[in-house]
Every structure is written in structure tokens, then in C-alpha cells.
């Protein structure tokens, strides 16, 4: 079913949005490593699954590989003083070859291998006494798809909670403060360079984890799957921010997740309504534009009303 499918993809890509949020919003670092690290996570997970590694462990390994990629971007920027955008481009470009090396070819199908999506489906069917379908409010719903959605929600909730807790530890708080005001943190004796490297590692780890899950959900890893992902993630972050405003960190996490899910739903609606396919990217741009502009418009109108009342 389209709704369940797009909710699941939305949740999986919300990890990407969280990663982009950390690099873009917390550190103000225009990191485009994402295009490469998403594929990296998918590639590592796919290869490990083919070798018989537990899919959960494979997803975690994909995330770790992404952290390594983020670390490299960070080090290029802080140690070698390479411009932020350029260091991201360097790593992203290099990752294309690395990903090909890891996969050994451009596309790895996971159809006949155990993936998290399949395991979730099996578990769901076992819970439902072996039934394939469930009747939910009159809609026939595939239990496998429902279980995958529940699994994705679970993973996102766990990751979100971990992030929340991490960014409220001493270290995490220092990282956020570095993003807000690096000069002051240097005055406080914090090595801001290290904070940035760590931040990028976490961000790309999340993005790669998103890729690893996406590969398992869609049943294959492809060397091209990461292309254009920065834009998608950024769009989700912006929509999320429009929803919750420039507010506290915990709220921002929820906002990014909601933004990613909402973004996917909007695209699904556009598809379902039989929009002219050639206009799809234009619609995407329109959504982001609306998310950027509407909150300001609403705020301005409110202010004017307040003035009139006064």
C-alpha cells in the first residue's frame, strides 16, 4: 500500500534528515559527503548481508563506515584547512570508487538474503498466526509491510532518543555550543576542530545507517542510490523547521523526522493524483519553497494583527 510504503521510506530517510540537521543546522557546515556516505552504508550492509552477517549488525557496520567517511571530511577541513564544501566534494567523489570497490559491481540485489525488512515481516506474520494480510479499517494491509513500518519507527525512535541523550551530555552540549559560537568555546578551552570532526562523524554515521536500512527495505544496493540525497535531506529539515520553529534540540529532532515523513507523503499524494510525471521535481521544489516562505508570512501577519490591536 502506498501509504505504508511512503511512511516507511519517510522514516528511514528521516535518519538522513537528522544527519543533515546535525551538520547543517548544529554546525552550520555545508556537508555534501551525504551523497557518498548514504551509498557507503548501503554498500557495506549489502555486502555483509551477502556474506551471511546478521542484518542488524550489517546495518550498524554501515553506520560505522559512514562515521569514518564523516571523520575524513572533518579532518580534511580542520587539519588541512580545505574549504567545507570542497572537503565534502572530495570525500563524496572518492566514495564513489570506494563504493564500487566494496560492492564489486554496481548493483547488489538482496532479494534472496535475509534483511531486516524480511525479518520484521516474518516476525509480524508469526505474531499474526501466519496470515499474510490484515484488514485495517476496511483496507487490506500486507503484514510484512506493516512490520517493516513498525521496525523503521522503532529504529528511528531509538536513534532519536540516543541522539537526544548524547547531545545533552557534557560532550554533546559542548558540540552544540561549538556550532553556536566557536570563538567562545575556544575561550572555554574546547578544541572546536575535534568537536566538528566528531559532529560530522555522527552526522554521516546517521546518513549511512539510513542508506543501510534503505537498501534492506528496497531489496538492493545501487552505486547511484545516493545521488541527490543531500537535497532531499535538506528539504526535510527545512519542512521540519517550518513545523516546529527554531526551537529546542529535542523538538528539532522530532521536527526533522516529521519533515522527512511529511515530504514523502506529499510526493506520494502528487503521484497518486496522477500528476504529470515531468512536473514532479518542480513540485518538490514548490514544497520546499512553501516550507521556507509560509512560516514567515504567517508570522508577519500575526505581527500586523498585534500592531492593529495595539
Q: Which residue has the cell 542488524?
A: 56
**Closer residue to other proteins, CB minimum distance, 272 or 303:** 272
> Would you state the cell numbers that stand for residue 40, as one nine-digit string?
557507503
Q: How far is the CB of 81 from other proteins (least distance, A)?
A: 25
Taking CB under 8 A as the binding criterion, the range among 19-27, 120-128, 183-191, 299-307 that sits at the site for other proteins is 183-191
Which residues make Cβ contacts (< 8 Å) with residue 302, sequence separation at least 6?
none
> Would you state the cell numbers that stand for residue 143, as one nine-digit string?
503484514
Q: Is 274 in the site for other proteins (CB under 8 A)?
A: yes
Sort strands 220-222 and 107-109 into parallel, antiparallel or unpaired: antiparallel
Among 82, 128, 251, 283, the residue binding other proteins under the rule CB under 8 A is 251
Q: Is 273 in the site for other proteins (CB under 8 A)?
A: yes
Taking CB under 8 A as the binding criterion, the range among 52-60, 70-78, 222-230, 302-310 that sits at the site for other proteins is 222-230
Taking CB under 8 A as the binding criterion, the range among 61-69, 76-84, 107-115, 197-205 that sits at the site for other proteins is 107-115
**E-only strand ranges, 25-149:** 107-109, 133-136, 139-142
Binding footprint of other proteins, residue count (CB under 8 A): 60
Cα distance between residue 310 and residue 297, in whole Å: 20
Among 52, 129, 130, 170, the residue binding other proteins under the rule CB under 8 A is 170
Cα distance between residue 8 and residue 18, in whole Å: 16
Q: Is 75 in the site for other proteins (CB under 8 A)?
A: no
Q: Is 292 in the site for other proteins (CB under 8 A)?
A: no
For 25, other C-beta atoms within 10 Å of its C-beta total 19
Contact between 203 and 19 under an 8 Å Cβ cutoff? The reply is yes
Contact between 219 and 115 under an 8 Å Cβ cutoff? The reply is yes
Contact between 257 and 17 under an 8 Å Cβ cutoff? The reply is yes
Among 277, 307, 309, 310, the residue binding other proteins under the rule CB under 8 A is 277
Note the residue count of the chain.
310
**E-only strand ranges, the chain:** 107-109, 133-136, 139-142, 220-222
Cα distance between residue 305 and residue 310, in whole Å: 9
Among 79, 126, 131, 168, the residue binding other proteins under the rule CB under 8 A is 168
Taking CB under 8 A as the binding criterion, the range among 28-36, 54-62, 154-162, 274-282 that sits at the site for other proteins is 274-282
Beta-bridged to residue 108, according to DSSP, are 221
Site for other proteins in 18-57 (CB under 8 A): none
**Closer residue to other proteins, CB minimum distance, 66 or 255:** 255
Nearest Cα to Cα of residue 67 among 159, 166, 199, 164? 199
Q: How far is the CB of 199 from other proteins (least distance, A)?
A: 16
Q: Is 150 in the site for other proteins (CB under 8 A)?
A: no
Start-end of H helices in 219-279? 229-244, 249-272
**Closer residue to other proteins, CB minimum distance, 67 or 118:** 118
Contact between 207 and 19 under an 8 Å Cβ cutoff? The reply is yes
Q: How far is the CB of 75 from other proteins (least distance, A)?
A: 23
Contact between 15 and 259 under an 8 Å Cβ cutoff? The reply is no
Q: Is 188 in the site for other proteins (CB under 8 A)?
A: yes
Q: Is 272 in the site for other proteins (CB under 8 A)?
A: yes
Q: Is 193 in the site for other proteins (CB under 8 A)?
A: no
Binding site for other proteins (CB under 8 A): 1-3, 5-7, 9, 96, 100, 105-107, 109, 111, 135, 138-140, 168, 170, 173-174, 177, 188-190, 218-220, 222-225, 228, 240, 243-245, 247-248, 251, 254-255, 258-259, 261-262, 265-269, 271-274, 277-278, 280-281
Amino acid at each position: 500500500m502506498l501509504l505504508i510504503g511512503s511512511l516507511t521510506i519517510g522514516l528511514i530517510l528521516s535518519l538522513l534528515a537528522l544527519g543533515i540537521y546535525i551538520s547543517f543546522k548544529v554546525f552550520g557546515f555545508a556537508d555534501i559527503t551525504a551523497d557518498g556516505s548514504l551509498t557507503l552504508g548501503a554498500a557495506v550492509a549489502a555486502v555483509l548481508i551477502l556474506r551471511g552477517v546478521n542484518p542488524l549488525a550489517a546495518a550498524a557496520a554501515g553506520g560505522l563506515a559512514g562515521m569514518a567517511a564523516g571523520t575524513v571530511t572533518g579532518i580534511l577541513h580542520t587539519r588541512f584547512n580545505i574549504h567545507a564544501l570542497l572537503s565534502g566534494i572530495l570525500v563524496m567523489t572518492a566514495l564513489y570508487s570506494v563504493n564500487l570497490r566494496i560492492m564489486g559491481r554496481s548493483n547488489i540485489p538482496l532479494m534472496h538474503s535475509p534483511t531486516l525488512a524480511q525479518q520484521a515481516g516474518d516476525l509480524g506474520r508469526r505474531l499474526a498466526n501466519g496470515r499474510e494480510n490484515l484488514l485495517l479499517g476496511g483496507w487490506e494491509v500486507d503484514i510484512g509491510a506493516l512490520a517493516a513500518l513498525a521496525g523503521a519507527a522503532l529504529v528511528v525512535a531509538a536513534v532519536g532518543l540516543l541522539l537526544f541523550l548524547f547531545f545533552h551530555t557534557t560532550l554533546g552540549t559542548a558540540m552544540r555550543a561549538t556550532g553556536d559560537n566557536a570563538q567562545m568555546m575556544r575561550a572555554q578551552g574546547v578544541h572546536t576542530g575535534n568537536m566538528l570532526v566528531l559532529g560530522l562523524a555522527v552526522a554521516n554515521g546517521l546518513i549511512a545507517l539510513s542508506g543501510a536500512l534503505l537498501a534492506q527495505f528496497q531489496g538492493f544496493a545501487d552505486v547511484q542510490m545516493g545521488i541527490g540525497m543531500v537535497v532531499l535531506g535538506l528539504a526535510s529539515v527545512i519542512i521540519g523547521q517550518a513545523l516546529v520553529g527554531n526551537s529546542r534540540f529535542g523538538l528539532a529532532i522530532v521536527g526533522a523526522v516529521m519533515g522527512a515523513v511529511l515530504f514523502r507523503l506529499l510526493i506520494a499524494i502528487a503521484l497518486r493524483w496522477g500528476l504529470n510525471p515531468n512536473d514532479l521535481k518542480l513540485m518538490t521544489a514548490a514544497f520546499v519553497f512553501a516550507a521556507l516562505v509560509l512560516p514567515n508570512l504567517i508570522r508577519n501577519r500575526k505581527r500586523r494583527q498585534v500592531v492593529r490591536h495595539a
